[in-house]
Amino acid sequence: MHIQPAAADTGIVFVRLDLPGSRPIPARFDNVSDTTLATTLGSDGVTVATVEHILSAFSGMGVDNAVVALDSFEVPIMDGSALPFVSMLKDVGTHVQGKTKKLLVIKKPVSVKEGDSNAVLLPADEFKISYEIDFKHVAIGRQSCSISFSDEKYEKEICAARTFGFLNEVEYMQAKGLALGGSLKNAIVLDNSKVLNKEGLRFPDEFVKHKILDAIGDLFLLGMPIIGHFVAYKSGHRLNNLLLRELMLKEDCWEIVNFFDKEETSNKTSLKIPSFRILDAVRV
């Protein structure tokens, strides 16, 4: 995989180098084609799977424009978190492109629900996430976490949280041709009673923090940062995407605002802007 610079207003775009002539796939909520255990984008019969971690890293680092070129149908899992992508982006540096940055501001509540799971976007003057999970597993149980998003908090508290799953899920994904490199080196794996990784957890609440990491990536499929409060209970990739689709249908519930720089924006609005870094170039 290579992450390449892109012109302003390009957004995040995925390109399949192993399929010459195939069209680029924009990272948009309406291009989501599957949400089974991961978020998959698809366009004109071409797909790119497991995009949520790298999109989460882009969002956390304030990256608006980039081309992600792949020689396969799945983004590398790395260590199961967004930390390797964040580290690479930090190493190469970012570049402000001199154009206005767009934000989507939530004006009225929007919600979706399936069974006992739900997800809501509420008006707020910053991007805030409150997430709760509830697993009938002794090593997970009920966990909750709430953060006011910033690039610093993302890097310190969220991006290192690894994906997790159960032995039967790993076997299911690999049977579908996904996560073929999956192992204890790039996921938290649980059997019926315990975490199998010898090193244990990176955070006491690593499970819910990874769900927040995923949600940040899924919500970035709007193509711009959100200013609002995302509240979720037992949500996942499918419900996150359904929330974005419902949001876009209700145009009176949001507005898009533009700004140039943090100082100017702070003088004109009460909105708290999370990050201003934009990608210059990087090779992964």
Catalytic residue ranges: 237
Contact 53, 75 (CB under 8 A): yes
Which segments of the chain does DSSP mark as H helices, in order? 52-60, 83-92, 151-153, 167-175, 206-219, 237-249, 262-268
Place of tokens 């949600």: 215
CB contact set of 278 (below 8 Å; sequence gap of 6+): 62, 63, 64, 65, 94, 95, 96, 97, 101
Amino acid making up residue 93 = G
Contact 178, 49 (CB under 8 A): yes
Secondary structure (H, E, C), 105-155? EECCCEEEEECCEEEEEECCCCEEEEEEEECCCCCCCEEEEEEECCHHHHH
Contact 75, 15 (CB under 8 A): no
CB contact set of 249 (below 8 Å; sequence gap of 6+): none
Strands 2-4 vs 66-70: parallel, antiparallel or unpaired = antiparallel
Burial class from Cβ neighbours inside 10 Å (0-12, 13-18, 19+) for residue 264 reads exposed
